Amino acid sequence: MTPPNSPQTLAKLSTTGKSTDIAIAGVELYFLPVTTRVPLKFGSETLTSVTCARVRVSVEDRSGRKAEGWGETPLSVPWVWPSTISHRTRDLALRDFCEQLASAWSAFSMYGHPLEIGYEFQENILPTLLAGFNRDCALDERMPLLAGLVCCSPFDIALHDAYGNLHERPIYDCYTAEFMNHDLAYFLEGVDSEGADFEGKYPIDFISPKVPETLPVWHLVGGVDLLDPAEMNGDIPLDGEPFVLEDWINRDGLQNLKVKLRGNDADWDFDRLVQVGLIAGRHGPYTLSADFNCTVLDPAYVNAVLDRLAAEHRDIFDAILYVEQPFPYDLEANKIDVSSVSSRKPLLMDESAHNWQLVRLGKKLGWTGVALKTCKTQTGAILTLCWAKAHKMSIMVQDLTNPMLAQIPHVLLAAHAGTMRGVESNAMQFYPKASLPEAKVHPGLYQRREGKLDLSSIQGSGFGYRVNEIARELGDPVATFGSFAKD
């Protein structure tokens, strides 16, 4: 099903604009299955496999010049759609929606900059498509907006890559007045009540124009990860990779640890933070973040854990850089005043931060920062980054256990965002062999050494994938629309 372009969008489809503008000429969709090396716990569910959606987009400018771009996102079912519906049923629904999106993107005949096209698609097409999917599907539960955004993201990422490739520029060099038809006031507010002024400003005004060669990296301590060799029992993968936390710290030189907590068992959460802190402390300076998995309903729960740490293990409390998304996904349905938490530690939105409007609501409720993810679209990440930085909010870039191509836009966002500290990257923990072809071209992106990722291999236009050098077998696409540039 392809929805017609809305009247609002049709009004914006103009034959006038910059010569640099593009329109979509073709779309291809692939599904790549990945099995985890060890389980990854999300809230009440445990992930053992994931489908990665990979997209190729062909674009053309007004003169008929064509180029291609790639995007990829893991459709991480427990994270995007927490539910009691079976994992397989939700996974199939996400794939089905991706196929509908492939058709819709191919029919979206708008010329513009990728931020402009991506914005209009998300404002006018995605909501209609998602509503139609939820109306027509046989499931008892609606697919949430977060899941829709994640399905949409590989198409949006590929569009940005293709634009950079067409103009033979890194995509972050293209977020400027030279290439964009509209300044940020078109997408955000011109001058808002807090004095942020987006008139005459572009994303380049809020991002770092130069990519550092290395980034500090965060390791995920999952809810079922083993901390001590004494905990080992049953089947342990004998693949030469570390297994317990101390082995990871020793091999990868880790200093930054994100700790997954339960959010419904305060003693367990406290003990987990203490255990991780004591292990990390044996290896020198360290930093923690506390992720309560969206299961907390009362700020007093988080405050009690933090206050107990401050009283009994002050060094571990001091090592916590920020607290991540303790409260439910749906911010509008759960307007909780969280200022008591953010008075103790910076409090970052993650799952709730679907767009800059929700980040604005979060700021009013007491949240002090936002964890960006490319899996909510490159367009959304850039606009949210600009709004948050204009309002002096803290920034982090968090992982969705990104393998293969998905890793590259993810780390580039962190490199340009000016984060609190580096980037989270954990695909090498949970499916290290999934990215072997990509790792031959970008070895420093798929292994962590001395506590860092090495970005020096990212070169060239778009996202600098160097995709022609990567020997990745994709198989046949599950959907193809339109035309592609000739080699």
* Domain boundaries defined on the chain: 7-190+475-482, 205-461
H helix or E strand, kind and range, residue 185: none
Amino acid in the structure at residue 41: K
Mean pLDDT for the stretch of residues 392-408: 97
The pTM of the full predicted model, rounded to 2 decimals, is 0.95
Q: Minimal CA–CA distance to 187: which of 328, 420, 379, 466?
A: 379
Q: What is the pLDDT of residue 487?
A: 42
In sequence order, the β-bridge partners of residue 267 are none
Q: CATH homologous superfamily of domain 205-461?
A: Enolase-like C-terminal domain (3.20.20.120)
Q: Which residue has the tokens 């940005």?
A: 160
In sequence order, the β-bridge partners of residue 378 are none
pLDDT at 193 over 60: yes
Using one digit for the tens of pLDDT, what is the confidence trace for 9-51? 444 445 568 999 999 999 999 999 999 998 887 777 888 899 9
DSSP 229-248: GGG--S----SSS--SHHHH
pLDDT at 4 over 70: no
H helix or E strand, kind and range, residue 22: strand 22-42
Q: What is the pLDDT of residue 118?
A: 98
Q: What is the pLDDT of residue 44?
A: 75
In sequence order, the β-bridge partners of residue 480 are 28
Q: What is the pLDDT of residue 485?
A: 56
DSSP 111-171: -B-HHHHHHHIIIIIHHHHHHHHHHHS--SSPPPHHHHHHHHHHHHHHHHHHHHHHHTSBG
**What stretches of 166-235 adopt beta strand conformation (E)?**
214-221
Mean pLDDT for the stretch of residues 109-118: 97
According to DSSP, the β-strands at 214-221 and 452-454 are antiparallel
Q: What is the pLDDT of residue 15?
A: 56
Choice between 483 and 342, residue whose per-residue pLDDT is larger: 342
Question: Under the phi-then-psi rule, with left for phi > 0, alpha for psi from -120 to 50, and beta for the rest, what region is 451?
Answer: left
Q: What is the pLDDT of residue 10?
A: 40
- CB-CB contact of 98 with 91 (8 Å): no
Mean pLDDT for the stretch of residues 320-329: 95
160 CA to centre of own chain: 15
pLDDT at 361 over 60: yes
In this structure, which topology does domain 7-190+475-482 adopt according to CATH? Enolase-like; domain 1 (3.30.390)
Q: Which residue has the tokens 């936390």?
A: 245
According to DSSP, the β-strands at 287-291 and 256-260 are parallel
Q: What is the pLDDT of residue 365?
A: 97
Using one digit for the tens of pLDDT, what is the confidence trace for 443-477? 999 999 999 999 999 999 999 999 999 999 999 99
Using one digit for the tens of pLDDT, what is the confidence trace for 242-284? 989 999 999 999 999 999 999 999 999 999 999 999 999 999 9
Q: Which of 2-16, 217-231, 381-395 has the highest mean pLDDT?
A: 381-395
pLDDT at 209 over 90: no
Q: What is the pLDDT of residue 486?
A: 52
Q: Other C-beta atoms within 10 Å of 240: how many?
A: 6
